[in-house]
A and B are shown apart, each in its own frame.
Chain A
Amino acid sequence: MTNNNSFDAHREDFPIFSDLKDAYLDNAATSHKPYSVIEAEQTFYERYNSNPLRGFYPLSLEATNQVELARDKVRGFINAKSTKEIIFTKNATESINTAAFSFCTGNLKRGDKIVVAVTEHHSNMLPWRSAAKLIGADIEYLKCNNEGEFTAEEINRCIDERTKVVAVGIVSNVTGRTAPIDLIVQRAHQAGAVVFADGAQSVPHMKTDVQALDVDFLAFSGHKMLAAMGVGVLYGKEEILDKMPPFLTGGEMIDSVTLDEVTYAQLPSKFEAGTLNAAGIVSLGTAIDYYNSLDIEKIRQRELLLTKRAFEGLSAIPNVHIIGSSDHTDHAGILSFTVDGVHPHDVSEILSSDGICIRAGHHCAQPLLAHLGVYACSRASLMFYNTENEIDKFISSVSTIRQRMGYKDV
Chain B
Amino acid sequence: MGKLVDYAEAHRILSKYGINSARSAYIESASDAIKFSAGEPIVMKVISQQALHKSKNGLVKLRLYTAKDISSAFSELRDSARKLKLDKYKILVQEMVAEGVEIIVGGSVDPQFGKMILLGLGGIYVEIFRDVALRVCPIGEYDAESMIHQLRSSNVIAPDKKADAKVKSILLKVSKMLAENEILELDLNPIILTRAGYAAVDLRIIK
- A and B associate in one complex: no
The interface of chain A, by Cβ under 8 A from chain B, is none
